[in-house]
Structure 1
Amino acid sequence: MQVPSSRPGAFTVRAPASSANLGPGFDSLGLSLPLHTTVRVTPQARTEIVPLGEDLAATPADESNYIYQAMRLAARRAGQDLPPARVEIETEVPLARGLGSSAAALVAGIVAGNELLGRPLEDAGLLDVAAREEGHPDNVAPALFGGIVAATLDKLGTHYVRLDPPAHLGVTVLIPDFELSTSKARAVLPREYSRADAVHALSHAALLVAALSVGRLDLLRHAMQDYIHQVWRAPLVPGLSDILEEAHLHGALGAALSGAGPTVLCFHDTRETTARLHDYLHGVMRRNELEGRVLDLPIDTAGTVVERH
């Protein structure tokens, strides 16, 4: 997380989107993407919540707003009362698409609350508050710190390792024009897994983190295989199974369901054109009668940024 030196007055917090799991890293691995939720905070005599833009038109314009509640989480952890302020909220992160919209809002709110209080919480405290509220750290950790993050959450705390992206690693995302709630995507998962599936998940998650840490882009297609969640969620996302099996034939280094979906993430080599991959992904959408966008994005390395006005 990047912050300037502290001084009083208005400030802006920008928290990025994220893609979680990356195949086998269920609830523990994610990366940051440069689509942002922005919160502008101006201290004043009374609290005022102002959601801006069409995507946030249905969100509460009062203290029940999720971002303001996240600001209160920071205050509660710090043992302080939250001062009144005008809070303006905008977002570029598509809602309920598997790109960490709730995590971006949560992190933006927690960081904004901490900033409004004079930063009583360190980075570790901010992450722990966010991870415990979300229930897992895979989205909130990269949203907070940027890059690629492996993280755990247990009764002893939230622990993480941040990796800078390997050279030449880019991201292509297919964002369908339909929503898929995390609760619905989690409801289809089995309650128990076999030992073979557990071993498969552990070995592939370990290989994926190792490959990303040393830049072995050639291993990503193999390391991103998953039997823990993607096979169960595939019926909820038309075309997902095809992309997971075929994307490497069209220029992808590997493919995965982004978070709970329905967005699908493909890694690509930035030294090569993505035209063939785009054509393939648009073809998958046509065959499944879907509308959506295909975007090439870098991996965001800044994480959540605070700017003083």
Structure 2
Amino acid sequence: MKIRIPATSANLGPGFDSCGIALSLYLFIEVLEPSDQWEIIHDLGNDIPSDATNLMITTALALAPDLAPHKIKMESDVPLARGLGSSSSVIVAGIELANRLGNLNLSQKEKIEIATKIEGHPDNVAPAICGDFVVACYFSEKKTDKVSYVKHYFPECDIIAFIPNTELLTTESREVLPQSFTYSQAVEASAIANVMIAAVINGNLPLAGKMMEEDRWHERYRQKFIPHLASIRQLGKDEGAYGCFLSGAGPTVLILSPEDKTTRLMKTLQALDKNATIERLSIDREGVQAF
């Protein structure tokens, strides 16, 4: 059995902890023969466990404690700690592993609820499971955890990922965010997010991109960690991009680009930082797949 999970980008600017898209970078899992103990075969570095302490296995065993151990091959295009949902993809892989090997017959909604409870918010895990563009909310109450979500078609465009050669942990980036907003600040930030979502649904990428760049929730506070954001945003404007935004907590920046502008824009971005990786991506429409 093989499992494929897409990378994701959360927030899309003002859709903080709520909006996300699935991208054409992938975590690949191949379940091999049964074994006496869990063994994860990968070349992702010494920081990624190769035994039962791997996040994928701990997630799977939390759902199905009696799963028989297997050898598993893990390969990933998703860079670690770059704001592209690397940990979320592993969590979703663990849920799908338990679902398939344990014959749990989980619904899509159940998968999202489980993944959100583990991750803490649905903006990465929901598009990793559903694919495409997902808007979701999560309420943690005394007796139950409730997730509501809507999947919608994201308009066709190129998505350029500017991936710096530096890591940024979400925990570090989240610490700089304010603990509260005034009423008027919250209304303004919420209105921008609402227009952004409506523009995406309406297929109006110029307006959606403009609203993505008007975020009030998090980007202005995280800019000190992302010195290249302002430069990329200006380059995007100069080259005719729809807009750009931090991918998750950063440091990756995503640029929404008309197809005829992409090649030139990628060359310009590479000149900005020769050590950065520049990827031309698209929306993954399917989400997690097992075959």
Q: TM exceeds 0.5?
A: yes
- Pairing partner for 1:299 from 267, 279, 283: 283
* Contact 1:46-1:86 within 8 A present in 2 as well: no
* TM-score, normalised via structure 2 length: 0.93
Aligned-residue identity in percent: 36
Can you list the C-alpha shifts for 1:124-172, whole angstroms capped at 9, x where unaligned?
Answer: 1111010110000000011111101001111351111111221x32211
Q: Is the 8 A contact 1:26 1:229 kept in 2?
A: yes
Displacement of 1:43 in angstroms is 5.5
Count of matched residue pairs: 286
Which residue of structure 2 lines up, in the alignment, with residue 3 of structure 1? none
- Does residue 274 in structure 1 map to residue 269 in structure 2? no
The alpha-carbon deviation at position 18 of structure 1 amounts to: 0.4
> Please, which of 83, 91, 99 is the counterpart of residue 106 of structure 1?
91
**Two-structure CA RMSD over aligned residues (Å):** 1.6
Q: Counterparts of 1:207 and 1:142 in 2: how far apart (Å)?
A: 20
Of 16, 32, 51, 1:62 maps to 51
Quick check: 1:150 aligned with 2:140? no
Contact 1:44 1:85 in 2 (8 A): yes
Residue identity in the other structure for 2:158: G
Q: How does 1:218-257 map to 2 (within 5 A)?
A: 218-224=206-212, 225-257=214-246
CA contact (8 A) 1:141 1:151 kept: yes
Unmatched segments (≥5 aa) in structure 1: 1-10
Distance 1:233 1:213 in 2: 27
Secondary structure of 2:18 counterpart:
strand
Distance in structure 1 (CA, Å) of the matches to 2:241 and 2:104: 42
Cα distance in 1 between the residues matched to 2:85 and 2:52: 22
Please name the residue that 1:211 is paired with: 199
1:226 Cα deviation after fit: 0.7
What is the match of residue 8 of structure 1?
A: none
SS in 2 for 1:81: coil
2:122 corresponds to which of 125, 133, 137: 137
Shift of 1:236: 0.4
Tell me how far apart the structure 2 counterparts of residues 203 and 56 of structure 1 sit (CA, whole Å): 43
- In 2 relative to 1, CA 45–247 (structure 1 residues): closer, same or farther, beyond 3 Å? closer
Question: Normalising to structure 1: TM-score of the pair?
Answer: 0.88
> Residue 37 of structure 1 aligns to a residue in which SS?
strand
Moved over 4 A (4+): none
Q: What are the equivalent positions in structure 2 for 1:109-188 lying under 5 Å apart?
A: 109-155=94-140, 156-166=145-155, 168-188=156-176
Aligned to 1:15: 5
| 1:72 equivalenced with 2:61 (yes/no) | yes
Residues 158 and 262, structure 2, Cα contact 8 Å, conserved in 1: no
